[in-house]
């Protein structure tokens, strides 16, 4: 058999970390898919970034997202075993956001994505992170996962993506396209 497929999911189910399988359309896999998309979008942004702090920061965040995905993918009785995101990471994320925000001008209104390739990629990543946040919020409300730190991390991450978008646009020397046409 090829190492690239197992055929185990041909019945419409996917295995959890630990015992058990769930239907592929289960909300847990919607959340995992959104987290995976967020990591991919952040990877695209990382490949496009030019401002010095961006790429290493995004790589660290992608590693955090894999820790979050492991916990979300764990069977309930295994969740504690896969709880790898430490509460200090929330403080770290907030500190990174504040430090970067101090170096850019915060626009007085909404901006339109697309002023630089990296900025646009970060705007896309931010929207995917927001979707992942909504999916995790649903899992928390259902009692499917129990760690509120995951939701807090994603909430802060969307803010960091916005600030990084501003950093990349500024680094590219681009003026911001504001939502209001005046």
Please report, for the chain, the start and end positions of each structural domain, with discontinuous segments joined by +. 24-171
What are 118-151's pLDDT values in tens digits?
A: 999 999 999 999 999 999 999 999 999 999 999 9
Q: Which is the CATH superfamily of the domain at 24-171?
A: Cobalamin adenosyltransferase-like (1.20.1200.10)
φ/ψ of residue 54, rounded to 5: -65, -55
What are 24-55's pLDDT values in tens digits?
A: 888 999 999 999 999 999 999 999 999 999 99
Pairing of strands 13-15, 21-23: antiparallel
Return left, alpha or beta for 114; rule: phi > 0 is left, psi -120 to 50 is alpha, else beta.
left
pLDDT, mean of residues 68-75: 94
pTM of the model: 0.91
Could you tell me if 97 and 163 are in contact, meaning their C-beta atoms sit under 8 angstroms apart? yes
Could you tell me if 144 and 74 are in contact, meaning their C-beta atoms sit under 8 angstroms apart? no
Distance between CA atoms of 6 and 26, rounded to whole angstroms?
Answer: 20
């Amino acid at each position: 058999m090829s190492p690239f497929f197992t055929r185990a999911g041909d019945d419409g189910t996917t295995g959890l970390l630990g015992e058990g399988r769930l239907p592929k359309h289960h909300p847990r896999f919607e959340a995992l898919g959104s987290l995976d998309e967020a990591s991919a979008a952040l990877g695209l942004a990382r490949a496009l970034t030019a401002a010095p702090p961006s790429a290493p920061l995004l790589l660290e965040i992608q590693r955090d997202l894999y820790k979050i995905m492991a916990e979300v993918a764990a069977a309930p009785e295994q969740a504690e075993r896969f709880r790898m995101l430490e509460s200090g990471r929330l403080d770290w994320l907030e500190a990174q956001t504040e430090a970067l925000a101090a170096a850019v001008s915060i626009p007085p209104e909404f901006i339109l994505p697309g002023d630089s390739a990296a900025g646009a990629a970060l705007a896309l990543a931010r929207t995917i992170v927001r979707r992942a946040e909504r999916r995790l919020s649903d899992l928390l409300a259902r009692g499917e996962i129990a760690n509120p730190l995951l939701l807090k991390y994603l909430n802060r991450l969307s803010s960091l993506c916005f600030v990084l978008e501003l950093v990349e646009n500024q680094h590219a020397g681009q003026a911001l396209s504001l939502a209001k046409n005046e």
